[in-house]
Structure 1
């Protein structure tokens, strides 16, 4: 089948990602082209705003061109697609959008009176529901359209009427311009006041910052003085500890000399087993179980970790005692 046999709107439907969205676009565009005193750019922008969530996937220009051409075949095809595919909720949504684009400026054209009623009938929306939607969206009741066959219609729409409307619009524009000028003047005065207030706040903040820096410098000097005092105290403590170690070393050397003197002048020591039992606080004849119990008790009492808070000399003495206890235990466990 040749592609030339399809109409422009049929081609759009074939390319569309959502035919019901494309059909709804044409019907809304049909409403927009019957809006009075609206430029083409405004129509396209309004249509884009209302249908921003549509999934048709094509540009709006071809749709507006078909709507301007008043292609009744295309409009009829769009109406059939919408009537076939729309649920009740989607139908109400389409009517909502149609009323919105038909009454943006607060007025509704004669053609759109009939188009809205046509769409409502197409989508199975009752006249009462249509009236309710129109009232909710515009705040005005949907009145019957004017009859162009009556003289009253032409009297209301003669050139003088429009001239008066234009004059009123110009006067309203002047008033709005004057109001805007006053508002801008007030806004500038307000901005100047806010700027002055902001400048004062900045000066106050700078003063606070200066005071904060001065306080920080004072605190830093105090901290440095405290660190110096702490360093002096630490130096004095280390010096005292050095002297204490010297004293302990002298005491240890003296003890070693005394021990050596006792060893050279005392009778022969007992045998090794007896000495090992004595280290564990046992007497000859103790069993292997007694040795284990005595070792556990002595190890708990003399373990170096119990003296971690004491001086280095105390820790060294505890380590030596613990080593003697362990050596005695190891020897007895090998001998027994």
Structure 2
């Protein structure tokens, strides 16, 4: 059978010749380990003396070790064994032995005060009976245990109580201040981290805005360049069309000039007389008479010599034209 499932006290019980004696031994050892100012050797000798008539058949060391470990489950198991296997008289005897062991030096420690009450409860012994047994053995009443949670207890049992309280308060204050400082530093770090995040976010927003503004300006500049280019293209196209139109007109004039026949002498002569091409011989005579009367030099004798010279030249052209036409018609 595997031993791993058994507790140390259960293993001791399995090896014991008398489980009742082993259970009683554990309870007495539990009381002894809470005796003040007693060495371990004295505890073992006292336990051996008290249990000299026991028939457990095993060493005391394992039981003392269990008592030192404060194994309450083992103690409760021991009490259950005694309550099941022992009579009320035997339970009182065990409690009597426990009181004797606890008060050997005349003093009852605070721990044993509670242990005796705990054992009495486990063994179904009433508090009144416990007080009676205690009085019979010690000759004094078993008062209420002192409360370690009260200041008066420590004032009586610890001369350094107030200085220790002051040190504890100072340490607590220092720890509290350190915690507050740590919390303050952490809050500052969180705030700084938050500010850095906000600054980084603001910087990113500003950069994004700057990029958008730069993109908008680039678009505007490109749009203006495109508009300027289109205007220049339109102007160049208009100028080209204008040049083409003028060149076409000049070409047409040059073509007309190249193709139109030069006016002949007859046409020029008719033009001098103010007649169109194809005029008749009679038209020539009438025109000559009219032009001669109008431009004869004698009419300008009162004018200057220059005016007279001009009139003579005009009249000579008229006469030459008339003479030529009369010869050719």
Give the TM-score normalised by the residue count of structure 1: 0.47
Give the TM-score normalised by the residue count of structure 2: 0.48
